[in-house]
Amino acid sequence: MVPVLQDLGMRLLGLLLLLSVGPWAEAGKVLVVPMDGSHWLSMREAVRELHARGHQAVVLTPEVNMHIKGEDFFTLKTYTVPHTQEEFDQNFANYIQIVFERQHFLKIFFKSMAVMKDSAVILYRGCRELMYNKTLIGHLNATSFDVVLTDPVYPCGAVLAKYLSIPTVFFLRYIPCDLDFEGTQCPNPSSYIPRLLTRHSDHMTFLQRVRNMLYPLALKYICHVTLSPYASLASEFFQRQVSLVDILSHGSVWLFRVDFVMDYPRPIMPNMVFIGGINCASRKLL
């Protein structure tokens, strides 16, 4: 009797073990293309959790960067870029300097635009280098990733994912020029969605609504400088005219690092998920 029970016990244990390793058998391969700086600090927490759940993550980044360093919960893959760490650091130092300058608003505006343009060029040159590296692209293609996790503010990941035909999950706080709305065909009424940088609430007076409609025109310039080069790059690779909206509409899921506790309500689409709490993942005690 007892050996029979023991045998049954062993079988049950075996079954239990089999069930518990089940999810591991389905472990996915995730290609992570982060945006450097504070953006990466939140995404790193998501990658840590993916690893904890048995998935493999490869983080792809320019060899010259600020915060994206190797960790034990992902594989770091770097690509060469046509600038040095000194040039990169100098650009960042210029940016910090402007933040502390006390000058006329317009002077600061034009200076920020110049620095923003420099940073955009640095990021974009890195992306070109990556996309035109046949060896690296071939290697990434051969790895057969299940999904790309990327911040669309650095659209290189989105272009790469579309080029390799890998489903994409976007992980972002904001993207200017309402590209998230356009890329998902989400309703976007100017009458009650306060535009980026306006400081309006969702209850606006008539004049505020007018301003709310005009603000995006100024932002268009920023998008033209920082994001539109990626549309040209994608057009080179797909050998047809491709817009940023085309690239972003490839996204399967949009994870927004915002929360309606702090942000005004807005229409959302079924593939949008709000995960604002992740910003507090590495909080310090008060």
Interface ranges with ligand NAG (CB under 6 A): 79-80, 133, 135-137, 141, 163-164
Positive or negative, the CA dihedral 83, 85, 86, 88 is positive
Closest to ligand NAG by CB, 172 or 247: 247
Closest to ligand NAG by CB, 9 or 138: 138
What is the closest distance, in whole angstroms, from the C-beta atom of residue 219 to ligand NAG in the complex? Answer: 33
Q: Cα–Cα distance between 259 and 9 in angstroms, integer?
A: 48
Closest to ligand NAG by CB, 137 or 253: 137
Closest to ligand NAG by CB, 33 or 177: 33
Closest to ligand NAG by CB, 162 or 257: 162
What is the closest distance, in whole angstroms, from the C-beta atom of residue 70 to ligand NAG in the complex? Answer: 15
Closest to ligand NAG by CB, 138 or 277: 138
What is the closest distance, in whole angstroms, from the C-beta atom of residue 137 to ligand NAG in the complex? Answer: 6
Phi, psi of 110 (to 5 degrees): -70, -35
Positive or negative, the CA dihedral 92, 93, 97, 100 is positive
Going by C-beta distance under 8 Å and a sequence separation of 6 or more, which residues neighbour residue 233?
Answer: 124, 127, 128, 131, 159
What is the closest distance, in whole angstroms, from the C-beta atom of residue 141 to ligand NAG in the complex? Answer: 4
Q: Cα–Cα distance between 143 and 29 in angstroms, integer?
A: 8
What is the closest distance, in whole angstroms, from the C-beta atom of residue 29 to ligand NAG in the complex? Answer: 15
Q: Cα–Cα distance between 189 and 266 in angstroms, integer?
A: 9
Helices (H), the chain: 2-25, 38-52, 85-99, 105-131, 134-142, 156-163, 179-184, 206-226, 228-238, 244-248
Closest to ligand NAG by CB, 82 or 267: 82
What is the closest distance, in whole angstroms, from the C-beta atom of residue 136 to ligand NAG in the complex? Answer: 4
Going by C-beta distance under 8 Å and a sequence separation of 6 or more, which residues neighbour residue 254?
Answer: 169, 170, 172, 180, 184, 269, 271, 272, 273
Q: Cα–Cα distance between 9 and 15 in angstroms, integer?
A: 10
What is the closest distance, in whole angstroms, from the C-beta atom of residue 61 to ligand NAG in the complex? Answer: 11
User: Are the C-beta atoms of residues 75 and 57 closer than 8 Å to each other?
Assistant: yes
Q: Cα–Cα distance between 110 and 116 in angstroms, integer?
A: 10
Closest to ligand NAG by CB, 150 or 226: 150
Tokens found for residue 25: 């058998």
Tokens found for residue 33: 């293309």
What is the closest distance, in whole angstroms, from the C-beta atom of residue 228 to ligand NAG in the complex? Answer: 23
Strand partners, 255: 171, 273
